[in-house]
Amino acid sequence: MRACIKNIFGYFVGIVLFLVVIPTLIWGVSVKLMLDINLIGINIIGALLMAVGAFFMIWSNIDMVKIGRGCPTDGFNISLGERTKKLIVQGPYKYTRNPMLFGTFVFYVGLALLLNSYSALIVPIVFILYMVWHVKKYEEPRLYNDFKEEYIEYKKRTPLLFPKFKK
């Protein structure tokens, strides 16, 4: 029961941060610096990117719970939810080691485009730069400690962030 409550808390924190706080920041930046151009193509691309990003976020979360038997909320070596018990190398994790991060980044870029604000692209760019640093500093050492050689092999064949779709 304690693990369940911990996971619910972890997901709550993640949802508030990644689906409320950061999108609000993107919107706030875009309101001040909107373009005077209303390109329907930009809006369509933005909506498509948001859909692709949401798909990767949902798919990777489902696999993290179902296959990894854990929760994604882990930051600065502090676990807000249960850490994964199994290294996930299938599903979206077959294409990128961080499909949740990839999906979130694509979602934020789509949101910035949908808001018709190139200035709002600053937030996803800063976000992704910070998160790549965070993954390398905290997540990768933890995954190595938990999964040793299995993680090293996975890391050799799977890109960090942007998917590599195999033929």
* The pLDDT of residue 78 is above 70: no
Break the chain into its structural domains and give their ranges: 2-157
In this prediction, residues 135-164 reach a mean pLDDT of 91
- % pLDDT > 70, the chain: 75
How high is the pLDDT of residue 2?
64
- % pLDDT > 90, the chain: 39
DSSP characters over 51-84: HHHHHHHHHHHHHHHHTS-S-S-EETTEESSPPP
Assign 20 a pLDDT band (cuts: 50, 70, 90). Answer: confident
Looking up tokens 């200035």 gives 119
| List of residues 6+ apart from 58 with CB closer than 8 A | 103
Average pLDDT, the chain: 81
pLDDT digits (tens, 9 = 90+) for 90-112: 999 999 999 999 999 999 999 98
How high is the pLDDT of residue 120?
84
How high is the pLDDT of residue 56?
94
* The pLDDT of residue 77 is above 60: no
Cα–Cα distance list, 38 to 49, 98, 142 (Å): 18, 33, 45
* pTM (predicted TM-score): 0.80
